[in-house]
A and B are shown apart, each in its own frame.
Chain A
Amino acid sequence: MNDVEHIIYKSSRRISLRDDEKAAVRMRLLSLAPGASISQRIVLPFYSALGSFAWRHTASFAFVALLFFSGGLSALADKALPGSMLYPLKTGINEQVLSLFAVSKESKVEFNILLAQRRLTEAELIADEPSISPEVKEDHLKVVYAQVTVAAGEEEEETTAPVTSAMTKMAPQAVMMQATHDNTTPELHVVSLMNATAAVEVAPREDISNLRASLKKLQSILAEKEHDKGEMRERSIRAESKLLVAQKKLLEAADEKISVEKKNQYVDQAKEIIKQAQLFIDSVRQESKETLIEAVPVSVSDKKTIPAVTEGEASTTKDILIESNVDPSVLHN
């Protein structure tokens, strides 16, 4: 073998799968074994995690295991909603196992978005369900927000902030979050954000349906735009994430129970986050050779100073919403 061939060989020996990558692919291939079902795939993590529990509750565990191993429980758990006994199986086991199949960076992002969409759908399903307690609904909304934040990679933002909105806010907020991750552009997200914010108080089902329909239509358009991947897509996601956090801050600022000082704090934070989002949007716009949809400007004016608010005065939430072309009255009854 001469030098060139030897160098190629030597270079190639430096490249190999990492242990975690190798194990993840192996797990995926093992799941293809004849007769394997998703329930069988999750036996080990399930057993090891709840081993001690199983010893203490042998009979009931055996019964559950029998059902579970047969595949029935796993399938049932997939349809479970928050508050149900099977829901922990869905999120703690079924989805954890599925996450093992997302081996690459891209597929992990897709998987996190899928989970966010699942949580959103659940939020909508339980919103009007009287048998589910308000506490469970509120807790689930926190989970929704955390999952959406994870999907957007918004690590630096707080993920466990208290959710102050009433349950009537849940559905439109959920739809807005759905908008965030349905491959829409940042500009579209601004529209979705504002629409969803505007719908907070009324929460009519028609609005949700309309938003979903719009999103589906835009999804189909975006599916044709292969170029909207890679770095541009990442920036879009970052912008969407920022807008999502800003929207949450505005919702929190609209809560009548909090102090004016706290309102100002939330609004300032929202304004700053929207500016950051604007930077991402601008960079995406500059690089985009074709416009996917008609751009909707995000107007965060540097010239206009938000006035300091004292007790009894209008909230600065109103000011920032005016700048963002949204009727602020929707946030204040």
Chain B
Amino acid sequence: MNRDLTTHHAEFIKAYDELGDALFRHSFFRVSNRDVALDMVQDTFVKTWQHVERGEKILNLKAYLYHVMNNLVIDYYRKSKSSSLDTLLDDGFDPSDSSVDIEEKAEMSLVMNAVGKLPEDDRQLVVMRHVDGLSITEIAEAIDESENVVSVRLHRAIKNLKKLYNHE
């Protein structure tokens, strides 16, 4: 048995323990469907591990995982051609958490509505930055753009988001 691969696998499982929830959150915000989001989390890790097994190097595992998930989200939209947060917005934001009071829930619905109206590219950046808490460098690596481009686009996306939110 390949000892290096075994070590990598242990690190890989550790990464799942640490990042599973965050990736699920990300996919949920992008596709607004719990089951689809769950499948995406699993597929993301499986595809990443297959990459490792082929002997490919991954310099930043976290960024690579988001990169894979982003591709899965793009594939999902190509297939379904549905808008990401439409269902969520139609049904109202429901985090399935009874501790959320009505006022807070309404506030969340408004901001989710605004996020849903952003163009997909802008939404992606907002989710990566403010849902996933990724750094500009990590986002740049995940979407194959320069840090400068990411900073400018993110700034513009947040500006648009605020406008949309204030008009709700």
| Structural contact, A17 and B41, CB atoms closer than 8 A | yes
* Residues A17 and B20 in contact in the complex (CB < 8 Å), given A28-B46, A32-B9, A33-B6: yes
Interface membership of B29, Cβ < 8 A = yes
| Structural contact, A34 and B5, CB atoms closer than 8 A | yes
* Stretch among B65-73, B136-144, B158-166 lining the A interface: B158-166
A35 to B1, CA, bound (A): 6
| Structural contact, B38 and A32, CB atoms closer than 8 A | no
* Residues A8 and B6 in contact in the complex (CB < 8 Å), given A16-B24, A25-B42, A26-B13: no
* Residues A11 and B24 in contact in the complex (CB < 8 Å), given A26-B13, A29-B13: no
| Structural contact, B108 and A9, CB atoms closer than 8 A | no
Q: How many residues of A contact B (CB 8 A)?
A: 30
| Structural contact, A34 and B9, CB atoms closer than 8 A | yes
| Structural contact, B42 and A15, CB atoms closer than 8 A | no
Closest residue of chain B to A21, judged by CB? B38
A105 to B9, CA, bound (A): 28
Interface membership of A44, Cβ < 8 A = no
* Stretch among B54-62, B110-118, B145-153 lining the A interface: B110-118
Closest residue of chain A to B164, judged by CB? A4
Q: Which chain A positions have C-beta within 8 A of B95? A: 11, 14-15
| Structural contact, A17 and B21, CB atoms closer than 8 A | yes
Closest residue of chain B to A34, judged by CB? B5
Q: How many residues of B contact A (CB 8 A)?
A: 46
| Structural contact, A12 and B29, CB atoms closer than 8 A | yes
Interface membership of B64, Cβ < 8 A = no
| Structural contact, A104 and B36, CB atoms closer than 8 A | yes
Interface residues of B in 1-29 (CB under 8 A from A): 1-2, 5-6, 9, 12-13, 16-17, 20-21, 24-25, 28-29
* Residues A4 and B162 in contact in the complex (CB < 8 Å), given A15-B24, A104-B38: yes
Partner of B35, one of A8, A14, A26, A105: A105
Partner of B97, one of A14, A103, A105: A14
Known: A14-B97, A17-B24, A29-B42. 6 other contacts (CB 8 A): A16-B24, A25-B41, A30-B13, A32-B46, A103-B39, A104-B39
Closest 5 CB pairs of A and B: A14-B95, A104-B35, A12-B131, A11-B108, A7-B111
